[in-house]
């Protein structure tokens, strides 16, 4: 990964976040926080996992 790509990635990942109190949402946010330490090839899988976790949590919260 080039230095420019690393700089762009560091801008895309929030560096500070506050826990929500929902374990599922917080664990998804922690996965996003780990992105800078992972190879770029693994990012898509992480985003898909985060999307699934947040979708499931929202569906449970709204009863859908």
- Find all residues with CB under 8 Å of 57, minimum gap 6, and list them: 22, 24, 25, 28
Instruction: Categorize the per-residue pLDDT at 7 as very low, low, confident or very high, splitting at 50, 70 and 90.
Output: low
Handedness of CA 26, 32, 33, 39 (dihedral sign): positive
In the chain, how many domains are there? Answer: 1
Which pair of structure tokens corresponds to residue 7? 């700089």
Summarised one tens digit per residue, pLDDT across range 11-64 is 556 567 789 899 999 999 999 888 888 898 999 999 999 999 999 999 988 877
Residue 28, CA distances (Å) to 2, 3, 7, 23 in order? 27, 27, 23, 9
Residue ranges making up the domain that contains 22: 3-62
pLDDT of residue 5: 64
Task: Name residues whose C-beta falls within 8 Å of residue 3's C-beta, 6 or more positions apart in sequence.
Answer: none
The predicted pLDDT at position 47 comes to: 95
């Amino acid at each position: 990964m080039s230095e420019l790509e690393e700089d762009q990635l560091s801008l895309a990942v929030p560096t500070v976040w506050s826990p929500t109190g929902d374990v599922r949402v917080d664990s998804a946010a922690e996965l996003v926080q780990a992105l800078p330490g992972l190879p770029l090839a693994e990012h898509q899988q992480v985003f898909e996992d985060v999307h699934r976790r947040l979708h499931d949590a929202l569906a449970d919260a709204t009863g859908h």
